[in-house]
Amino acid sequence: MELLDKLNWRYAAKAMNGETVPEDKIERILEAARLAPTSSGLQPFEIIVIKNKEIKEKIKPVAWNQSVITDCSHLLVFVAWDTYTEDRINYMFDLTNDIRGFKNEGWENYRQMLLSSYPQKPAEENFNHAAKQAYIAFSQAIIAAAFEGVDATPLEGFDPAVIDEILGLKEKGLRSAVMLPLGYRKEENDWLVNLVKVRKPMKDLVTLID
Ligand SMILES: Cc1cc2nc3c(=O)[nH]c(=O)nc-3n(C[C@H](O)[C@H](O)[C@H](O)COP(=O)(O)O)c2cc1C
């Protein structure tokens, strides 16, 4: 119940007050994103945390001039791999072996299966798959922010090509997927804060097959 209360409290803040979110809260929100499940456990994305005022100012005009970009405390940018490469796949499989301290034939066969499929696919298809995984972490960050009493604005309204340029993502084989400004709501400037949350009824969402 407590979780649902927090999810009802949260909303996509349209105005923030510029107050700083304590680093321990930010760390727990990022940890929730890190713990997100991903397809084959590949975690094909990174998170860029922007506190820098000048960079936020640069981003704002290519993000529909949304005030939360500059009035947030920390701007998270979820960036996904531009494609799956052998190195990237091997990195996660090797990391798993290192952390668990053993090699397993079934796991190694699974590695080979991924190596013989993903890298051969078109980069755009791979990026779209990687971006979907980034959204899972994004969603966990949204929930964690609500849990911490931190406001967040899920934000897709930006020009990804320009953001990629500002953040120098291309050279790193990354592309921006979605953003999450974190901060505190500024109620007096926010038209959404007192409006009732609208969601379709459960019957239009869920089909039970008994
Ligand atoms: C992927 C995604 C992208 C969104 N992009 C924006 C955005 O660019 N600007 C904005 O003000 N709200 C954005 N929203 C917020 C949605 O409009 C909002 O979550 C939805 O209307 C439900 O309202 P609530 O989050 O306040 O409950 C986005 C939400 C999601 C999940």
Q: Which spans in the chain are helix H?
A: 2-9, 23-34, 53-59, 68-71, 86-100, 105-115, 123-147, 160-166, 202-205
Cα–Cα nearest to 178, from 143, 142, 209: 142
Q: What is the pTM of this model?
A: 0.97
Residue ID of nearest Cα to ligand 1 atom 30? 154
Å from CA of 13 to ligand 1 middle? 9
For residues 53 and 59, give the distance between their C-alpha atoms in angstroms, rounded to a whole number. Answer: 10
Å from CA of 158 to ligand 1 middle? 12
For residues 90 and 124, give the distance between their C-alpha atoms in angstroms, rounded to a whole number. Answer: 20
- In the chain, what are the domain boundaries? 2-84+121-205
114: CB partners within 8 A, 6+ apart: 40, 42, 84, 89
pLDDT the model gives residue 153: 98
**Within 6 Å (CB) of ligand 1, which residues are found?**
11-12, 14, 66, 153-157, 178, 197
pLDDT the model gives residue 27: 98
Cα–Cα nearest to 76, from 162, 35, 135: 135
Block means of pLDDT (10 residues each) for the chain, 210 residues, are 92 97 98 98 98 98 98 98 98 97 96 98 98 98 98 98 98 98 96 94 98
Q: What's the topology of domain 2-84+121-205?
A: NADH Oxidase (3.40.109)
